[in-house]
Amino acid sequence: MLERVGEFRSRITARVDGFISVKKAYMVWKHLVPFAVASLLLLMLSLPGLKLFFKFSDLLDRRGLLWAPAGILTVAAAVVYFQTIKSQIYRAYLWDNRDRVRTLCTSLAYVILCTLMAYGVARSVSPVEPTTGNIWASLLVALLSLTGIGWKGPSSWVESAGIKSPDYTDARSNAAKITKILKRVRGERASTERDVEDFLKAAESLQAEIEKNIEFEPPWMKCALREASESVLRMAGKVRVLFPLDDASAVRDFADACRYYSETQYGEFIESLRALGNRWHEWRYSSDRVGGGAT
């Protein structure tokens, strides 16, 4: 029974993670410090006698010249926060097929949550009706606080607590190198030793980076990543066996194999490359580019 509950929870978490980054709650913990800063800032700005928050929101309600600088500051803070989330998600995930969705949904979720929290703190100090000025002022305080997740402090605090995020920056770089190599050799009549060497180096580095990061992944992510790691390792092994650098004829045939020719002779490598094309769509060739993909 407990196993079924665990499996159900993992499936739900995996589905949610497809839209909002939740794995190992790393992003949640990183937002705690900015949320605390927003709360403290609001309490200070809302103190009786000062009430700077409410004075600022009243000025926004008047629709005067303050709208221009306030608008520029709001947009600038939103862009900084969005780009920070984008870079965090780029690092934390191996495959890029849901980068945009995760970045947009994660950003919106935390901006809305922090804005509501900011408005709630302000309202608890001095009950007011929701107005354009109040909501805008809450949004601005939230955005200015959320830009803090890109600072060194929050990251160090979270990681010192034992919560670490994988870093697939190098893995993505190696996957991109393989994409470039495949495009290059598929446009050549025959491949060279350099093509085979570059492909092997990038594939082995990619596999090593995946293995290095698996330990930081939640259980429901590890299976797919181990499978990908084994597949890349298997493909690299086939390249070493089927296209040895001391065999000039086999080296020349590497380009044909990357175009899915000579399946009788190089079928094992072609099968591995095609299978990995389900994860890295850019590795596919010709009509194989149409079809399913990784989650």
Q: What's the Cα-to-Cα distance from 66 to each of 70, 170, 237, 281, rounded to whole Å? A: 6, 45, 64, 48
**255 domain-assigned:** yes
Is residue 80 assigned to a domain? Answer: yes
Residue 155 lies in a domain: yes
pLDDT tens digits, 44-77? 766 666 677 788 888 888 877 788 899 999 999 9
Based on the domain organization, do 77 and 184 belong to the same domain? no
Question: How confident is the model at residue 31, as a pLDDT?
Answer: 84
pLDDT tens sequence across 232-283: 999 999 999 999 999 999 999 999 999 999 889 999 999 999 999 999 999 9
Over 90: is that where the pLDDT of 23 sits? Answer: no
Range of the domain at 62: 2-160
| Per-residue pLDDT tens digits for 142-178 | 898 888 776 665 666 677 667 788 999 999 999 999 9
Do residue 193 and residue 79 come from a single domain? no
**136/202 same-domain check:** no
- CA dist 93 and 294 (Å) reads 12
The verdict on 38 and 103 lying in the same domain is yes
Count Cβ atoms within 10 A of the Cβ of residue 218 and give its class: 0-12 exposed, 13-18 middle, 19 or more buried.
middle
Same domain, yes or no, for 155 and 179?
Answer: no
- Name the token pair of 272: 């591995």
- 153 & 223 share domain: no
CA distance 205 to 193: 18
**Residue 3's pLDDT band (cuts 50, 70, 90):** low
Q: Which of 14-23, 84-93, 165-174 has the lowest mean pLDDT?
A: 14-23
The per-residue pLDDT for 167 is 95
- Convert the pLDDT of each residue in 96-141 to its tens digit: 999 999 999 999 999 999 898 888 877 877 777 788 888 998 899 8
152 and 257 share a domain? no
